[in-house]
């Protein structure tokens, strides 16, 4: 068997499509795409993506697991909902894009250093701790996400903006000590745990 054939074994088979259907939010819609390309033509960012939604759907059906899950494309979605409104087959494309990104993240196959992924992770970690976003810590975490030296440089570059915010009482330096919290932090944590359990139950 030559190389092409070995690669062909999983090609255009149900396996990956099934996986997406079972584990990705709204993944069971992927099979309904009729490859018209309306989403690809409607996405305002489409030309910046390596693979348009249309192509991603075809790649899933073609069994290209590695390529899809390590793709940067679905991370580019800005949730404008143009595609959902226009898809003649009524696919919830935006949701599938986020579902795919989330699934790739969970499997740790998402591209390292992908900015959307990084921001989302920092935001989420920051939020779940106290139930409120600590803007100071979030900004600092953003500055220092690429290392200590880069963080110092970022902070110096943004110094004037930071001082302005402090003067205008939009930023409280004391937040560094812990800052505002939700009244019932335990409740928030229980809520999130429950949501996780539901999600795990829905998509194995």
Partner 1 sequence: MSEMKTAAYICSGCELGDKLDVAQLSKIAQKEGKMALVREHEFLCSEAAVQIIRDDIANEAVTHICIAACSRRAKTEAFHFPEVAMSRANLREGVIWIVAEGSEHDEVRQDMADDYVRMACAELKKMKLPQGNPNHAGNKRILVVGGGMSGLTAALEAAEAGYEVVLIEKENQLGGWASKLWKRVPFKQPYAEPQDTGAAALAAKVTAHPRITVHLNSTLAETSGAPGRFGVQIAQESGASVTEEVGAIVQATGFSAYDLNKLPELGGGKPNVTDQAGLEALARAANGATIKRADGKEISSVVFIQCAGQRDDSGTHLPYCSGHCCATSVKQAMYFKDANPDVDTVVMYTDLRMPGMGEDFYRSAQDKGVIFTKGKAAAVETSGDGCTVKFRDLILDEDTAVNADLVVLATGQVPNAGVDLEAWNPIVTAAEGGSEEAKVQRVELHKTSVLKLNYRQGPDMPQLKQGFSDSHFICFPYETRRTGIYAAGPVRRPMDMLQATEDATGAALKAIQAVENASLGRAAHPRSGDLSFPSARLEGCTQCKRCTVECPFGAIDEDEKRYPVFNESRCRRCGTCMGACPVRVISFENYSVDTVGMQIKAVDMPDEFSEKPRILLLACENDAYPALDMAGLQHHVYSAFVRAIPVRCLGSVNTIWITDALNSGYDGVMLMGCKHGDNYQCHFVKGSELANYRMSKIDDTFKQLGLEPERVITHEVAITDHARVAQLINDYAAKINEIGMSPMKAFA
Site for ligand SF4 in 55-94 (CB under 6 A): 57, 77-83, 87-89, 91, 93-94
Comparison of 35 and 150: residue with beta carbon closer to partner 1:
35
In the three-class reduction of DSSP (H, G, I as helix; E, B as strand; rest coil), residue 203 is classed as coil
Task: Indicate which single residue of 34, 128, 157, 176 sits in contact with ligand SF4 (rule: CB under 6 A).
Answer: 34
Contacts of 53-61 with CB under 8 Å at 24 or more apart are: 53/83, 53/93, 53/96, 53/97, 56/97, 56/100, 57/30, 57/33, 57/91, 58/33, 60/16, 60/17, 60/20, 60/30, 61/12, 61/17, 61/30, 61/31
* Span interacting with partner 1, options 2-10, 91-99, 133-141, 190-198, rule CB under 8 A: 2-10
Footprint (CB under 8 A) of partner 1, residues 117-136:
none
What CA–CA distance (Å, rounded) separates 178 from 180? 7
Question: Site map for partner 1, 136-175, x if CB under 8 A?
Answer: ----------------------------------------
Q: Of the ranges 20-28, 41-49, 107-115, 126-134, which one interacts with ligand SF4 (CB under 6 A)?
A: 41-49
């Amino acid at each position: 068997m030559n190389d092409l054939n070995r690669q062909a074994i999983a090609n255009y088979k149900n396996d990956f499509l099934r996986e997406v259907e079972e584990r990705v939010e709204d993944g069971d819609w992927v099979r309904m795409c009729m490859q018209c390309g309306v989403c690809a033509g409607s996405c305002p960012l489409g030309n910046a993506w390596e693979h348009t939604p249309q192509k991603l759907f075809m790649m899933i059906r073609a069994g290209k697991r590695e390529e899809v899950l390590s793709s940067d494309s679905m991370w580019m979605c800005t949730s404008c909902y143009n595609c959902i409104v226009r898809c003649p087959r009524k696919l919830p494309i935006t949701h599938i894009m986020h579902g795919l990104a989330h699934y790739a993240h969970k499997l740790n196959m998402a591209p390292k250093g992908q900015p959307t992924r990084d921001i989302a992770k920092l935001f989420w970690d920051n939020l779940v701790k106290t139930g409120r976003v600590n803007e100071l810590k979030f900004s600092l975490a953003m500055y220092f996400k690429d290392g200590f030296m880069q963080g110092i440089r970022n902070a110096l570059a943004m110094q004037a903006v930071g001082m302005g915010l402090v003067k205008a009482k939009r930023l409280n330096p004391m937040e560094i000590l812990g800052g505002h919290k939700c009244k019932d932090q335990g409740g928030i944590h229980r809520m999130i745990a429950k949501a996780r359990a539901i999600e795990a139950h829905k998509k194995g």
